[in-house]
Amino acid sequence: MSQVKAYAAQSPTSGVAPFAIERRAPRPDDVVIEIDYCGVCHSDLHFAYNDWGITPYPIVPGHEIVGHVTAVGNAVKDFKPGDIVGVGCLVDSCRKCGSCEHGLEQYCENGWVGTYNGVDLHDGTPTFGGYSEKIVVSERFVLRMPASLDLAAAAPLLCAGITTWSPLRHFGIGKGHRIGVVGMGGLGHMGVKFACALGAEVTVFTRSASKVEEAKQQGAHHVIISSNEAEMNAAASRFDFILDTVPVPHDLNPYVNVLKRDGTLILVGLLGPVEPPLHTFPMVFGRRRIAGSLIGGLPETQEMLDFCGEHGIVCDIEMLDIRNINEAYERMQRSDVRYRFVIDLATLKG
Ligand SMILES: [Zn+2]
Ligand SMILES: [Zn+2]
């Protein structure tokens, strides 16, 4: 065991502040990682504030982790000290169920272990995330970071990136497809980059005319102002897929209407009831589908990272001193970040 510096929330109102945590001595299959960068995901602030009512305090958020290996357990085969590695949202799962056998650990039928807010399956200790100097993770859940990428800007690939990559790949989106992306935040801008790189024709749906230039800068071929009914009607039956990244309740009916026959609306942001209610008429009469998708498994996360290495894809980020984390949360609540904060962990160590 070793004590390391971290930042934790102690209650829904405490904010995130310095806190010391223990990291375990490496087990035979463990990789010890000194963390260099950690992206700040919306889940982090939801857990810190207990928005979902399930936070076990204290909590150390952070699941977009990039760092370098400092030690490995004696059974580790694929990593050695000095390797540049990443850790995303998962640090363990049952490893035996059908989902785990297919490398879809995010759908583990016995429940996966979150990088934070989880409980270690071996010793029952709480898992603590990337707002810390070090993390110790089984090698099955460690990813290799492409050397060609800016590592700080690559950190958010581990949650925001894979959340959009996984459904695009699952549904085979590529050349010849028209895809719409709803929402231009951390997830949406990655969805645009990936869909473009995969060869699709990409349209961004946004409520504000001020985002039109931004969307085009990200590579979108077209932009539709979703509050403009005439524009939405003109797009009826046009899209093969819609990737909807909006995390709050919003009207899905106009997006079902712009799908072609057999088109699919993929939800990756919204968790909870649909408001206003969904009208099934366009679904039944056009065999249109609504689907959900959760982050990604380890093999497809590695596939995404390798693809990003080949195509030079990273997130657009703003570097953050960890001492300013609470202000960053406030800015995220106002959508005032383009598009992801990434903590420079040198500011924790210094
Ligand atoms: Zn996340
Ligand atoms: Zn499993």
283-338 pLDDT, tens digit per residue, is 999 999 999 999 999 999 999 999 999 999 999 999 999 999 999 999 999 989 99
pLDDT for the residue numbered 350: 75
| DSSP code of residue 268 | S
DSSP-based three-state secondary structure for 249: coil
Question: By percentage, how much of the chain surpasses pLDDT 90?
Answer: 97
CA distance 317 to 190: 12
Measured from the alpha carbon of residue 140, the closest ligand is 2
Percent of the chain as helix, strand, coil, to the nearest 5: 30, 30, 40
Nearest ligand to the CA atom of 90:
1
Q: What distance in Å separates the CA atoms of residue 279 and residue 234, rounded to the nearest whole number?
A: 20
CA dist 59 and 44 (Å) reads 9
Neighbours of 337 (CB within 10 A): 17
Distance 89 CA to ligand 1 centre (A): 7
- Ligand 2 centre from 80 Cα, in Å? 27
Q: What tokens were used for 98?
A: 């059908």
How far is the centre of ligand 1, averaged over its atoms, from the C-alpha of 157 (Å)?
10
**Closest alpha carbon to 44 in 256, 340, 300, 282:** 340
> What's the mean per-residue pLDDT of the chain?
97
Nearest-angstrom CA–CA distance, 323 and 121: 32
Q: State in Å: Cα 188 to ligand 2 middle.
A: 29
> 106 to each of 67, 100, 220, 313, how far by Cα in Å?
22, 8, 29, 23
Ligand 2 centre from 110 Cα, in Å?
Answer: 5
pLDDT given at position 7: 98
Q: Residue 188 above 90 pLDDT?
A: yes
From the CA of 89, how far away is ligand 2's center (Å)? 15
Nearest listed ligand to the Cα of residue 295? 1
The confidence score (pLDDT) of residue 277 equals: 95
Return the pLDDT at 1: 86
Region 125-147 average pLDDT: 98
Distance CA 226, CA 207 (A): 5
Q: Is the pLDDT of residue 65 over 90?
A: yes
> Buried b vs exposed e over 161-191: b needs ≥16 C-beta within 10 Å?
bbbbbbbbbebebeeebbbbbbbbbbbbbbb
pTM of the model: 0.96
pLDDT of residue 80: 98
Ligand with minimal distance to 100 CA? 2
**Statement: residue 138 has pLDDT above 80:** yes
Q: What percent of the chain has pLDDT above 70?
A: 100
| Residue 208 confidence (pLDDT) | 85
Q: Which ligand is nearest to the CA of 109?
A: 2
pLDDT at 201 over 80: yes
CA of 96 from ligand 2 middle (Å) equals: 5
Q: What is the pLDDT of residue 116?
A: 98
Residue 303 CA to its chain's centroid (Å): 15
How far apart, in whole angstroms, are the C-alpha atoms of residue 341 and residue 323? 13
Q: Which of 97, 29, 34, 118 is nearest to 349 (CA)?
A: 34
